[in-house]
Structure 1
């Protein structure tokens, strides 16, 4: 007990949650993403989110970043995954320091990744 008579728990002797194997559970953090969005004027915006598609939709409505007040968001052009928010923030800082030409190279590295896969032609042969 402390001076006020309140009982304090030191944490000693408390059990950690366990999985089926009896081993302590590990906290698994959800991934975070660094993303680039192209604005209508051709500029690129870099940000992080735990859900880049949802965040892009927010940018398209004009909310979430003042950057898009002057030129609306038109395309989510680059996404990379990181194990936690801290690492995503570090990568975001690095990308923001890049020249636009280097950012465009990142965009080109994923060109087409956000488009639907081509469907085979009905005859079974490519076009």
Structure 2
């Protein structure tokens, strides 16, 4: 049986700046799209390019549900989620190979 990888992630334009929550099956490709401007819409308009948090899932349904829940959260909860693993709001993309 093939293993599937899905990621829920948060990108921002600066520490404590505008946040975007997304889901993808290829985190490196998706980050490249955000950074190069190939991802139209919100992330391009607000220049959300810094990966500050991500979470791995093996079931697409779980990943989509998690993304939808996070999108409904209050901003303070999202900030706390990031702070717990990335208190400096550093760009995590280099740590995953981008």
Same fold (TM over 0.5): yes
Stretches (4+) displaced over 2 A? 112-116
Over 3 Å counting, the alpha-carbon distance change for 1:113 and 1:42 in structure 2 is closer
Task: Give the number of the structure with larger relative contact order, counting CA–CA contacts within 8 Å between residues 6 or more apart.
Answer: 2
Aligned position for 1:32: 6
RMSD: 2.2
Tell me the TM-score normalised to structure 2 length.
0.78
Which ranges of structure 2 fall in alignment gaps of 5 or more residues?
none
Secondary structure in 2 matching 1:86: helix
Q: SS of 2:11's equivalent? A: strand
Comparing both structures, which one devotes a greater share of its residues to helix? 2
**Structure 1: how far apart are the matches of 2:57 and 2:71?**
16
Does residue 62 (structure 1) correspond to residue 32 (structure 2)? The answer is no
Please give the alpha-carbon distance, in whole angstroms, between the structure 2 residues aligned to 1:113 and 1:75. Answer: 5
The equivalent residue for 2:26 is: 51
Kept after mapping to 1: 8 A contact 2:18/2:48:
no
Residues 113 and 38 of structure 1: CA distance in aligned 2, closer, same or farther (over 3 Å): closer
Q: Which residue number corresponds to residue 99 of structure 1? A: 74
Aligned residues: 90
Distance 1:103 1:31 in 2: 23
